[in-house]
Chain A
């Protein structure tokens, strides 16, 4: 997320209302573009299915299959994605470009193997048609690769390329959907999924060609990045835990009496999942603002703080730089909080108006309202976790994200009994965000100590280490 700051700062320097809007538009596009494109893709496919009057069971199966592919591919890659962001940034900093392509192949091998086995076992016992199994399996595997590829393209700060790749993928998906469903008249879930396979394959190839054309071929250190698991186990864990934290309450509902089973394979809890999905859309503003505000104003101060330390700043210079950085950070954070709160309330108002129109019950709308508040707190926590990682406070980041996960696991089943669906998430997020804020304030207070004492005792390469910290956040 951090890398587009550079381009954004260029946009902001021009300082006009128009460029401001451009910056936010640009930021929205690159941060949530791929996500929105995927949603549009799914929505259009659903429209196509209704147009050709596909049977309800098939439509449901399509939704279930693609949801599972999305969720579990994200889960499988989440730890590696976080870890690789570091690895790739370090390699780029050290100019060891030879290691990049091999590490991509290495991580693909591992994730595809794990995903392949998990997916196989999962589908093996399912009574679904072979065509559905194969197309679904392909989608799952393609998504795994795509999430990994985005790390490398992000490292090149080529965000527009990512958005374009997804855009072309979406277009191809829709075209294939039209061909399969309308021209060939296949009224089957597997046809819809096959269309997505083709679309995502396009995205995958576009991203892959770009990466392979950019980085040098010929390195052989395929699994060198695994050394980072021993070196930075917390980073891997933070990636996995924070992703699991988003979904775990859904999983608990899927396992409860409130679930249904689609095609004897996929368990779901539509009465909970749908409000969860819509509620999560309410955090888009924070995702966009975080990139623009933190990357522009905070990053400047963050950099000058480290520049003062690296240079010959006196203790007064350091204190001043620290104060400025802390002030700007807290200012931006409270700005994000205010905007997010406004949008959350707005989302609730809109939800109450619109959700009944797509057939949501009063109970689901209640859940939606609670979930919007929960997500509001959750996204703040997530932003703070990212900030903690800026300061390399892995301990704090893992503490807060694990706390959120654990609280969810404990509260969700209990709250489910009371019927206040979503309250588990709200409580968990409230606890986690409280701890996160305290931790951030603590780190900001002690930032000098952390900056200095996390360094080795002997001056071996003090400057490269500081510079590495500075570089790392430009992932």
Chain B
């Protein structure tokens, strides 16, 4: 079966949880062929893959949201837009309930030569004007105009990209990738599967609320826009796979039909972490974090909590394993913070092979603001290491269990609360026995509930169900 994987801002350009999830899914499904349809932010990352693509990837399509810089525009065009097309566009711009199929049909129709030509047409301007008049009459129009154009352009360009034909569309996020999955289903009438790791809309929402490039009154506009993208995916998808129960609930809150949602947790090959190199002496307490250095991981809180730890546990060392090149500005800020706090023994290792280092740690930490079901935690637990995490995604479930008997595998504290996080780490530093007990608990839980075999089998079953219905249909 030919499966089209739709990813946005992750595989194969960026390492991390979602990327390695996709990589292991494809690697472990040699019986299927995969088309990768990936959306990146900037054209300059074209072809720069961080992964060696598995052999069963038969095609890679790359599209970038900044491609519009190359668009030539001829303004002044008029179209023959029907009343219903006009209504579709209106409700899209106004953020009302949209009939996406109509929007797809309109955007792919022959009368539209290019997206920029349409966006600079009189018809589009009139609709936008009307929307602003009726819904945003108190907002500066010029800014609204540029905001809308820059919001819509990448989406429309994405939609107009040629869509590869496949037997199944599998998107690993809502957002643009989710819209593309819906488009695949719309065009070829093939099933559309959605796996959501984090909650896309919530992540965008947090990003936008903090972003200083969006002015106050436009934050709502942007957030609403991402909500409507997600709704497109939720309404088109045949099946949604959630990693854990809390996410399922959120998806339902966001408007996804609960009957579509099943849960397949992430998984790691627990035995891979059985015989790791352990540290040689007990002179220092090693605390590690397996994270990319990006704002959503809240490295700054991590640094601040370690500063507290260092006061009480002078022989503690803090290792941050992970690439620093994704957001260099943020990395610089982190280095600056370390300097300001004057805390010693914080080591940024850059990209490393996790398995070579993880065994040498006494404690692992994660201070993210938002997470799905972090692979880093699964890996750490598989390596029998206790964790201190913030209360995001499924961390609570992973460390404390969801009504199972394995016992706690670490300590969960509120987001951004570096004092509590620091104290939790201190309590683990001071109690070797507790560390070992928690490490053992984690190892058992992961082996039992979060194995890679379980994860792969889950998807294998789903894929083969679709394959059967595909050939079943063919037979009739």
Contact = CB atoms under 8 A, between A and B. Distances in A.
Contact of A458 (B69, B126, B133, B139): B69
Most central of B75, B122, B126 by chain A CB within 10 Å: B75
A312 B116 CA distance: 25
Contact of B140 (A313, A448, A452, A453): A313
A163 B69 CA distance: 49
Interface string A434-463: 000000000000101100111011110010
B92 to A, nearest CB: 18
B375 interface: no
A358 interface: no
Contact of B125 (A311, A316, A318, A452): A452
Nearest to B139: A314
Contact of B138 (A310, A314, A449, A459): A314
Nearest to B140: A312
Contact of B132 (A311, A312, A315, A446): A315
A318 B129 CA distance: 11
Given A449-B125, A452-B145, A453-B76, A314 B119 contact: no
A81 interface: no
Contacts of A456: 73
A145 interface: no
A175 to B, nearest CB: 57
B404 interface: no
Interface string B113-129: 00010011110011001
A313 B142 contact: yes
Contacts of B141: 309, 313-315, 317-318
B277 interface: no
Contact of B68 (A313, A316, A454, A458): A458
Given A453-B120, A453-B125, A462 B138 contact: no
A46 B67 CA distance: 70
Nearest to B125: A449
Interface string B125-152: 1100100110011111111011001100
B150 A459 contact: yes
A436 B461 CA distance: 71
Given A448-B129, A453-B75, A457-B73, A314 B137 contact: yes
Nearest to B153: A457
B282 interface: no
Nearest to B71: A457
Contacts of B142: 309-310, 312-313, 452, 462
A349 to B, nearest CB: 47
Given A312-B143, A314-B139, A316-B137, A457 B120 contact: yes
A459 B133 CA distance: 22
A313 B136 CA distance: 12
A315 B142 CA distance: 9
A459 B137 contact: no
Contacts of B71: 457
Given A457-B68, A457-B153, A315 B129 contact: yes
Most central of A312, A446, A449, A454 by chain B CB within 10 Å: A449
Contacts of B75: 453-454
- B interface, by DSSP: helix, strand, loop or mixed? helix
A112 to B, nearest CB: 38
Nearest to A395: B76
A314 B153 contact: no
A418 to B, nearest CB: 41
Contacts, number: 57
A315 B133 contact: yes
Contacts of A309: 141-142
Nearest to A448: B129
Contacts of B73: 456-457
A329 B142 CA distance: 24
Contacts of A315: 129, 132-133, 136-137, 139, 141
B291 to A, nearest CB: 34
A453 B129 CA distance: 12
Nearest to B117: A457
A454 B76 CA distance: 8
A314 B122 contact: no
Interface string A308-332: 0111111111100000000000000
Contact of A462 (B119, B122, B140, B146): B146
A315 B145 CA distance: 10
Nearest to B76: A453
Contacts of A448: 125, 129
Contacts of A449: 122, 125-126
Nearest to B69: A458
Most central of A312, A453, A456, A457 by chain B CB within 10 Å: A457
Interface in B62-85: 68-69, 71, 73, 75-76
A290 to B, nearest CB: 28
A310 B142 CA distance: 7
Contacts of B146: 459, 462
B68 to A, nearest CB: 7
Contacts of B136: 315
Interface in A57-72: none
Most central of A309, A312, A314, A462 by chain B CB within 10 Å: A314
B230 to A, nearest CB: 26
A459 B139 CA distance: 18
Contacts of A311: 140
A457 B68 CA distance: 9
Contacts of B121: 453
Given A315-B132, A315-B133, A457 B149 contact: yes
A117 B71 CA distance: 45
Most central of B133, B136, B145 by chain A CB within 10 Å: B145
A452 B73 CA distance: 13
Contacts of A310: 142
Contacts of B129: 315, 448
B140 A314 contact: yes
Contacts of B125: 448-449, 452-453
A448 B133 CA distance: 13
Nearest to B124: A453
A40 B235 CA distance: 82
Contacts of A446: 122
A456 B126 CA distance: 18
A108 B262 CA distance: 79
Contacts of A459: 146, 150
A462 B125 CA distance: 17
A311 B73 CA distance: 25
Nearest to B142: A309
B449 to A, nearest CB: 49
A384 B137 CA distance: 33
Contacts of A314: 137-141
Nearest to A318: B141
Nearest to B116: A457
B123 to A, nearest CB: 10
Contacts of A452: 125, 142, 145
B297 to A, nearest CB: 30
Contacts of A317: 141
A459 B138 CA distance: 22
B64 to A, nearest CB: 14
Most central of A316, A318, A454, A458 by chain B CB within 10 Å: A458
A310 B121 CA distance: 21
A459 B71 CA distance: 13
A127 B153 CA distance: 69
A452 to B, nearest CB: 6
Given A318-B141, A457-B68, A457-B120, 7 more contacts: A313-B140, A314-B137, A314-B139, A315-B137, A452-B142, A458-B68, A462-B146
Which 10 residue pairs are nearest across A and B when measured between Cβ atoms?
A312-B140, A453-B120, A453-B75, A315-B141, A449-B125, A315-B132, A457-B116, A459-B146, A457-B73, A315-B133
9 contacts: A312-B142, A312-B143, A314-B141, A448-B125, A452-B125, A452-B142, A452-B145, A453-B125, A456-B73
Interface of A: 309-318, 446, 448-449, 452-454, 456-459, 462
